[in-house]
Structure 1
Amino acid sequence: MSSSLVSRAEGASSVSPLSSPSSASPSPSAKSRGSATTPSTPITPMAPLSPELLSLDKTKQQQQQQQQQTPTSLASRIPTVDGKKRLPQNIAHRGFRAKFPENSVEAFRGALASGAVALETDVHLSKDKVVVLSHDPTLKRCFGRPDKIADCDWSLLETLRTTKDPHVPMARLTDLLSFLSEPGREHVWVLLDIKRDDDAEELVTRMAETILATPGDWSRRIVLGCWQANYMRHAQDKLPGFPIAYIGFSLAYAYELLKYDCVGYFNLLQGILVGPRGRRFIREAHAKGRGILVWTVNSEEWMDWSIHNGVEGVITDDPPKFADVRKRWERDEKDGEDGDEDGAVPASELTPLRRTAGKAPPTAHPPNTKTLSGFFLRRWAKLYAIVGLLRMLEQVFTNVMRVRNGWESKVVRAALDRP
């Protein structure tokens, strides 16, 4: 990476939300240079500090040291008020893909208009190293061509149109940043799902060049989503100060990453968090100041579950549905809430994972027998059967990865432990 890119990356990290006032103080050498040019004036001796003031000063220094040791992560900004539960943020999965072509600017615009406060999208590299937004490594599903994105130059990709109406072009990362830079969208943030089909270092380097070339404090508005620890290492190196999320469906891998401060969020498949083991992970992550996101939540039952279990964000294909679920919870707990009459946080205060206030209604999950009809019994049986299948697949995947790569602790240490 060029020296200019490194210097710009360092500049981005310097405006981290966790920057300490003490970090802006001049160095000893700077002070000495300043004293050489300042006229000499008599100095009045200071009166000795009282024990109370000394104690306060020591406490302040300890707090500043703790702030400097805290991981540079937006998860540390998750608010808690008197232990009350707050509603998860509405995060649009690839935009409003239920209505618009996924990962398009139109899908992002539709998502924000329908109640989402944040976006999730995926990144790949074209043949000529342009960062484009696509979930799949090929063009088949969305653009009707068999080619791989990595085999096509941007000059070809920009001519394609989606097979789904309204037949829009492929978007680049720079297009998304331009969209988010428009007036009125200053408080929208985005989770970038860094796909594993490209070379890790090359992809993250190109992302860094694109992000740092776009004006704005993107370290407060972009979360870097990584499936593997080696991608996290490159994210730390190329975009220091940007929060990192683990994306995956392995609790064993997530538990290992929980030991590392660089991982601020855990973006997990919702089904693997159902049950005692998942609830325990949520508690332990929250105890360490980490945020929990869940994907992809489209049924109202699991939206209720996500709220009831205190996650920070729900990634959904249907932002209007989750917006309605949130409004229902807000109505149920309207008494005693602060803010406007709908209980929502003002738009000017929305930041990544800043949630609206509200205690969780006493909703049983699954519902108690008094609320169960034959239809709901079949519905819940189906939902939990899917969860059981997901847990089985998680175990199979975990064991296969252990055979291929070794235990999670070995893989994570090799990537994240600094020499």
Structure 2
Amino acid sequence: MMLNIAHRGFSGKYPENTLLAFQKGIEAGADGFEFDTHLTRDGEIVIIHDERLDRTTNAQGFVKDYTLEELRKVDASKPFPECGFCGIPTLREYFELIRGRDLITNIELKNGIFWYEGMEEKVIAMIREYGLEERVILSSFNHRSVMKCKALAQEIRCGFLTMSWLERPGEYTAARGVECYHPLYLTLDRETVDELHGHGIRINTWTVNEEADLARMKELGVDAVIGNFPDRAAAYCRD
């Protein structure tokens, strides 16, 4: 079965990476969520995609330059003002929301621009605190960060994020002891999918929103689609 992973929550209709978007994703039947983490100036783990606040909030500047207390006042509903105030959630608040639910969580560590010192350790410690080791995938475009996660927590699945046509990605991923490959869906074809699965690698592809693309991913046999419309993907993932 192809899993239906909501990209930044139900971000096609609600403010991305907010508790509202995650709650609406649950209601839409998502099998889990993909989202992004940064560290605040005082070292707290928050869920937001960009390094800067400008695109999705009513504030400006870098996330890393704000304390958590300061970020509590920031409204993350800028693209969907009709939704009202939506705060930037912490990773702990997300874990509390999904507590007791059978959901997959794909945490993307956003350290490709800034290397947040200690973020891997902090995220892994909180995963262990909530007993979610078997329900979480840690991923990043920074493959060194992925390898650090794997060294710190062999029991937690990891994934290499990429948007390029990597030659023999299954061989590359398996050789490093990583379980998942997270490619842009446009880079997938039959040869690539077969090579990855031949090495025992799970394919969780992003960002799949259109029905024709969902149908093609299902035909190729990918393991999960990550998209902004979990309601739309549900029809392809339930068959």
**Structure 1 length-normalised TM:** 0.53
Aligned to 1:63: none
Q: Distance in 2 between matches of 1:208 and 1:198?
A: 19
Aligned to 1:174: 92
Alpha-carbon RMSD: 1.7
Aligned to 1:209: 125
Aligned to 2:175: 260
Q: Distance in 2 between matches of 1:209 and 1:136?
A: 23
**Contact map agreement 1:201 1:231 (CA 8 A) in 2:** no
Structure whose alpha-carbon radius of gyration is higher: 1
Sequence identity percentage = 24
**Contact map agreement 1:257 1:263 (CA 8 A) in 2:** no
* Length, aligned pairs only: 233
Aligned to 1:161: 75
As a proportion of its length, which structure holds more helix? 1
CA apart distance, 1:125: 0.9
SS of 1:251's equivalent in the other structure is: coil
CA apart distance, 1:291: 0.6
Alignment gaps of 5+ in structure 2:
none
| Structure 1 residues 118-158: Cα deviation after superposition (integer angstroms, max 9, x where no partner) | 11000111111111101101111111222110111111001
Aligned to 2:103: 188
Q: Distance in 1 between matches of 2:63 and 2:117?
A: 18
| Structure 1 residues 350-409: Cα deviation after superposition (integer angstroms, max 9, x where no partner) | xxxxxxxxxxxxxxxxxxxxxxxxxxxxxxxxxxxxxxxxxxxxxxxxxxxxxxxxxxxx
Q: Distance in 2 between matches of 1:326 and 1:292?
A: 14
Match of 1:300 among 211, 214, 220: 211
As a proportion of its length, which structure holds more strand? 2
Residues 1:235 and 1:200: Cα distance change in structure 2 (over 3 Å): farther
1:251 matched to 2:165: yes
Match of 1:291 among 198, 202, 209: 202
Q: Distance in 2 between matches of 1:226 and 1:326?
A: 25
Aligned pairs (5 A) from 1:68-147: 87-147=1-61
Q: Distance in 2 between matches of 1:210 and 1:259?
A: 26
**Structure 2 length-normalised TM:** 0.91
| Structure 1 residues 254-283: Cα deviation after superposition (integer angstroms, max 9, x where no partner) | 35623425211111100011xxxx321211
Q: Distance in 1 between matches of 2:215 and 2:158?
A: 26
Q: Distance in 2 between matches of 1:128 and 1:286?
A: 42
Match of 2:184 among 233, 246, 269: 269
Q: Which amino acid aligns with 2:211?
A: E
Q: Distance in 1 between matches of 2:54 and 2:70?
A: 15
